[in-house]
Structure formats: C-alpha cells, structure tokens
Amino acid sequence: MTENTLVPLHDELRAVDVTHMWHPYTQHQGAVPPMPIARAVGACVYDHLNKHYIDATSSGWVTLHGHAHPMIASAIAEQAHSVEHVSFAGYTHEPAVRLAEQLVRIVPGGLSRVFFSESGSTAVEVALKMAIQYWVNRGEQRKLIVGLENAYHGETFGAMAVSGRGAFTAPFKDHFFKVVRLPDPSLDDGESAVAKLQRVLERRGKNVAAVIVEPLLMGRAGMRVWEGKTLRAMRQLTEEHGVLLIADEALTGFGRTGPMFASGAAEISPDIMCLSHGLTGGFLPLGATVAREEIYAAFLGNGDDGAGKMFLHGHAYTANPLACAAARASLTLLDEESAGRRAGIEEVHRGKIGELTSHPMVKSPRVLGTLAAFDLAAAAGGGVARDGPAAPGLEEFALKHGVLLKPIGNVVYVLPPYCMSPGDLAEVWSLIGMWLEVRG
C-alpha cells in the first residue's frame, strides 16, 4: 500500500474504534482516539505510516523476547495444524503435558502440580479457591486470607478482594470477602509487615487459610520494591504456623526481576505460585497456578467423598494447545543468552537512572532486574501511586518522540522486552531526561 492509502485506513480505524470500542483503563469522555498499530517486531511497534515506537513497557508487561519472535510464531502455527483446542476436562494433549513438565523443572522446589487458566487474575482466583478448599477438605474451617496493603492481584472479584483498596476496587467494596492486611512491605524495611503477620498468626493462625504476596515487586502500586529478607521472614512464619503462602508472580516470573522467579531470588519456595503475563512470551493469554503435591493430595477421594473433595473449577480455554505451544517456545528461549540480555538491561538501567538522581523531580530511584523506576517529587507523601494523577504529559511527550511509556500515577518506569538493544534503551532514558528538563 502507498502512504496515500494508508492514511485513510489509519483514520478509518480510529473512527470505527470511537464508534464501537470500549477500552480498558480509559475515560472515553474527551479521550484522544487511540493510535492504531499495524505491526510489531522486536522491541518496536509500527503505525500504518510505518513510524516506529520503542516499546518501553513490554506492551502491558507481557512481551518477554520481543514482538513477533519467529520461534514462538512458528510454534503456534505448527500447533494450529494439529489440535487448536480441546476441552481439558477428561482429555489431555502434548502441549499442556510438556509445558507442565517444563514449568515444574524451573519453579522453586516442591511445586509439582500445574492448573492452567487464562490470565493472572484467574491464576489468583484458582490459588485462593485451592487454598480455602484445601483446608475444608482437611476438615478445618480456615477461611481468612492475609494480604498486603497496596497490593494488586487482578480484577476478578477474588483477586480484587485480596488487592489493596483504591480506585480499582471502590465501586465493589461491599462485595468482597474479609481480608486481613499487612503494612506495605516496601515501607520501613518491611519490619511492620513482618511484625503484624506474627501477631495475626499467633492470635488467629488456626483461622488463616493463606497469605498472598507479590514477591519483591508490587507492580500496579507503583513498582514498589521490597526486600528478600522480608519475604523470607514471612515464609518462616507461615511455615511455623502451618499456613499456606501464595506467591503471585504474574509480573515477576520468567526473569523480570533478574532470576527466573522472584521467590527464588528471595530463596523461598511458596506453597502455591501464580504465573501469567510473560508465560507465552506475550503471544497468547495463559495463566498457571502451581501447587505442592500435598495440596493436590487433599483433593483426592473415593465415592461420595471424592465427589465432595474434587476441585470444581475450570475455564473454557483451560490449557489451550496454541497458548501452551507458545509458552513452551518462550521457556526454551529463557536460556543463557536471555540471562545475559537481562543482565545487560539492568546494567544500562543502573547507569542511566544514576544520571537522573540529582534531578529535583526524581525521588526513590530503584532497579530490580529489567525494571527501573522512580517517583516524581510531586508524589511525595501522596499515598498509593496508582490512584494519583498520571505523570503530566509524559505519555504524550514520549509518543511524539517515538517511545511507548505508561506511567503509573506519579511513578515513571521502564520495563523493556529482553531483546531491546542498549542503544534503544539509552534512547528511552534520554527521552525521559528530556521530559524532566522540560518539566523543570
């Protein structure tokens, strides 16, 4: 197509979108029509005029190895010619079985049973139901869940219930089950969170089904980083009191924080782990909840006992073969070369964010693996970052200069796909520096 034909196509798509689409996280009253994307390759996406934009946030934190990676695309295409989907209730297939086998090999020790779903939210729903029913099946009425202030676990009802309170959850607050909340572990070195967990377990441990955390990195709360020693202390307490620990690694899994999993970086193994986001390399939706064998065993039984104990949960697209094929290819790409690229990204982050630390608007600069973030001075003491005003004009400024950035409230962050070159990553940081100078 020529540019003359591409311009009308670009405009037509935006017009039809405005007429029929309802986008997430969007106040459509007065919103600028979204930019149509024509294709995406590597660390960049392209519009219909072939202008490229560096994808600095991995398209919603899901793109691991880069857009349109040929190995993952080929795996999906090959699988589509055999089994594209089949019910997973009473049937099985090689892509799911082999993927489960791969996952069990790389997750922290002791996790052996894989339950597939369709997203990070559904992986959390599965984990919560699994934890509560585990105790019911054992004859114990442990129904209390302990979570973290400012946490984010998704937008289905169970996931919202265990998340922190704010704009995401406010309209639904009367519909959630009760959750005991620990102080945000990114504050005061996590000491308050550990101390309260100890008090809760000493007083109400026999009523607690599980503690759920985002290991080391609380994403939607504003990329808040917390210490591995805090997580280790929490794990020790849950073990001492016989309470399950759920690690929601939808964001942190598959190398985002440097090592394969944040739980592993903290040298702990949870009882249940939730996975999604980068599981398929960003190609297709897929969630996985991985549990210990003793949890699985509590759901086994015979006759009427078996019918009452089984896990009555499922999804129409559970273990979709195409998604499983994509995930298998993505896991294969998490090799030594990938680890080197992740280390290179972290090195660039540390150098570039270090250059900005003297700027008066830059507060609390932090780097964790492939994630780098800082708070804007205007956010000092402003509460939960995700509920604050967006960094004024940064997204629009970046788009004009060929970079996709998506600040969370007053938190600026960069979370690139692993294929991003040092030059492109430096360009992203240069753009952020330019914006800070413009802002003064």
Query: Given the DSSP bridges, would you call strands 144-148 and 208-213 parallel, antiparallel or unpaired?
Result: parallel
CB 165 within 8 A of CB 173: yes
> Which residue(s) pair with 217 in the sheet?
225
Tens digits of residue pLDDT in 402-435: 999 999 999 999 999 999 999 999 999 999 999 9
Q: Is the pLDDT of residue 69 over 70?
A: yes
Structure tokens at 164: 């922190």
Tens digits of residue pLDDT in 127-143: 999 999 999 999 998 99
Please give the C-alpha separations between residue 239 and each of 32, 242, 258, in angstroms, as whole numbers.
51, 5, 26
- Residue 218: how many other CB atoms lie within 10 Å: 27
Q: How many residues are present in the chain? A: 440
Instruction: Give this prediction's pTM.
Output: 0.95
Please choose, from the candidates 262, 271, 242, 240, the residue with its C-alpha nearest in 3D space to the C-alpha of residue 127: 271
Please choose, from the candidates 217, 216, 145, the residue with its C-alpha nearest in 3D space to the C-alpha of residue 182: 145
Tens digits of residue pLDDT in 283-322: 999 999 999 999 999 999 988 788 889 999 999 999 999 9
- The CATH architecture of the domain made up of 37-68+336-439 is Alpha-Beta Complex (3.90)
Q: Is the pLDDT of residue 379 over 80?
A: no
CATH fold of the domain at 71-332: Aspartate Aminotransferase; domain 2 (3.40.640)
Domain boundaries, given as residue ranges, for the chain: 37-68+336-439, 71-332
Structure tokens at 361: 């608007």
